[in-house]
Chain A
Amino acid sequence: MSLSIPPVAVVDFGLGNLFSVQLALTRAGLSSIITDNPEDLRTAPAVIVPGVGAFGDAMNALRARKLDAALHDYRQSGRPIVGICLGQQLFMEESEEFGAHKGLGFIPGTVRRLPAGLLAEDGRKIKVPTVGWNTIARPAARPTGWAGTLLEGVREESDMYFVHSYRVILDNDAEALATTTYAGTVYCSALQQDNITAFQFHPEKSGQEGQKIYQNLAAQLAKDSRVPILELHSQGAVPPSN
């Protein structure tokens, strides 16, 4: 089935390990291309924005490659955009990481540092970054659960693999797909708005439960593969890059 689906675009802006994302897509039967060329987004049935590193550097890298405009256009196409880790944070309006930075602005809200310090009970230090496996919970504000989303079929209260120092704060809590608690701070660990889905954790590093997210993406694309791919940037927002 994957043969009929063009390659998923994994956006490369020069930071982070994109190979594990590509391996997870391969395991789910999807071909993919790691690219920093906005042109490659035009034919992609889905776009993944992964990322490790600093928010400001990442936004600068996206702008330098005109990937910010390409992602804005892609969003209008209605095809799935998936953010992972820093990718989720880049979808927000702004971040306080090393000064204030404007994000892509897809999702109303901000990015703030996780609180650090001493845990009162046992004198243990709250480590930031938080590194390791933590639980994702379905927010009460989401009565329909995860059906129809990329988390469909993922066991509630699954542990996923996280590495981060910052977390997103949504203006609209209804956009939270999952929440996670670290040292008493409850934060949004997955969000969804229309064709945008994003995860603070790394599904590709989260064992079999995480892999279901990629399988769900593959299933969605298989269903939609008959829909012709839209011509993007009809308003000429992105000039051809070469």
Chain B
Amino acid sequence: MTLKTRIISRLDIKGPNLVKGVHLEGLRVLGKPEKFARYYYQAGADELFYQDTVASLYNRNHLGELVRRTAQEIGIPMCVGGGLRTLADIRAVLRAGADKIAVNTGAVRNPDFIRQSAEAFGSSTIVVAIEVIRQPDGTPFCFVDNGRESTGLNAIEWAQQVESLGAGEILLTSVDREGTGNGFDIPLVKQIADLVNIPVIAHGGAGTAVHVADVIKKGHADAVALASLLHYGVYAELASDSDDFNAEGNTQFMKRNATNKRIKPVHLADLKASLTSAGLPMRLPHAQT
């Protein structure tokens, strides 16, 4: 009986659609976020993470209504990120029903924003997202705007700094691995997880259930955020003809009912069962009680 490693369903949102890319780019539409959120809640997700993928580019955050609807029916923690720049932005998302918020660009541009928001809303509300691309010599640099812009910050140093500024958790994305299915950047996760005293959520690279077990066992991840690994196993069954996908996004993949060859998708409940068998403590919600 101990703390369980969290499995977080990450839902990247573009306009009204759930999208998924590779290296945070080339976003393809996979369905309607509400359906995925409901499905993952019922399947035993420990937390939901909504990321507005284009918020930073256009200085917008459109998730309010989605967050509000999700909060009505889903009784697990929900974190929301994308385009949050001011305390008022954060307050609005929390009022819509989010429990935590994630900042990346806003924190890099103004590190004191972390301190201010932790003071205003409590450290446990503030997740700092760190998006890493390794340089040719292996140095892990932080990027903003979904991996488009380098900051020149070393991720290891930045992780320590965000902890000292009052971040409650770190969401650590390997942009190099994200969407590839090649496995997590385990040395990166381990280096940061062993360094800071706050929980580190590993994200980016899961292509199989074994990758997830590895990043928990070898990478010392406190939680794992998953998108492709879970989405590609359920997107076809969650789609329905009545879904209206408007102009925003590339829907070709869905229309072909294609499979992603990089990913060996796994259903969330099966993933948790296999991780439990591998000796990793998981929360296993007793199906309908």
CB neighbours (8 Å) of B286 from chain A are: 155
Which of A15, A122, A209, A210 lies in contact with B122, CB distance below 8 A? Answer: A15
In the complex, chain B residues whose CB is within 8 Å of the CB of A229: none
Instruction: Give the contact stretch, choosing among A95-103, A124-132, A139-147.
Output: A124-132
Given A15-B122, A137-B1, A208-B289, check contact A128 B197 (CB 8 Å).
Answer: yes
0/1 interface trace, chain B 9-53, chain A, CB 8 Å (1 if under): 000000000000000000000000000000001000010000000
Measured between alpha carbons, how far is A209 from B169 in the docked complex, in Å? 25
Closest A-B pairs by Cβ, 4 of them: A52-B122, A135-B1, A133-B283, A159-B283
Q: Which residues of B contact A (CB under 8 A)?
A: 1-6, 41, 46, 71-72, 75-77, 94-99, 121-125, 168-169, 193-194, 196-199, 220, 222-223, 283, 285-286, 289
Within 8 A of B (CB), among A19-72: 19-20, 23-24, 27, 52-54
Interface assignment of A216: CB less than 8 Å from any CB of chain B:
no
- The answer to whether B121 touches A124 (Cβ under 8 A) is no
Give the residue of B46, B72, B169 whose beta carbon is less than 8 angstroms from that of A23: B72
- Quick check: A19 and B75 within 8 Å, CB to CB? no
Segment among A75-83, A104-112, A199-207 that sits at the interface with chain B: A199-207
Q: Which residues of chain A have C-beta atoms less than 8 A from B169's C-beta?
A: 131
A151 CA to B96 CA, complexed, in Å? 28
> Cβ of A132: which chain B residues have Cβ within 8 Å of it?
3-6, 46, 199, 222-223
Count A-B contacts at CB 8 Å.
Answer: 116
Report the minimum CB–CB distance from B226 to chain A (whole Å). Answer: 15
B1 touches A157 (CB 8 A): yes
Contact B220 A124 (CB under 8 A): yes
Q: Does A230 sit within 8 A of B, measured CB to CB?
A: no
- Nearest CB of A to B118, in Å: 10
Instruction: Check A52 against B76 for contact (C-beta < 8 Å).
Output: no
Q: Could you tell me if B168 and A131 are in contact, using CB atoms closer than 8 angstroms? A: yes
Is residue A163 contacting chain B, with contact meaning CB distance below 8 A? yes
CA distance A159 to B77 in the complex (A): 14
Which residues of chain B are near A15, meaning CB under 8 Å? 121-122
A-B contact pairs, 9 of them (CB 8 A): A19-B71, A52-B124, A125-B193, A125-B220, A130-B3, A131-B6, A131-B124, A131-B223, A159-B283
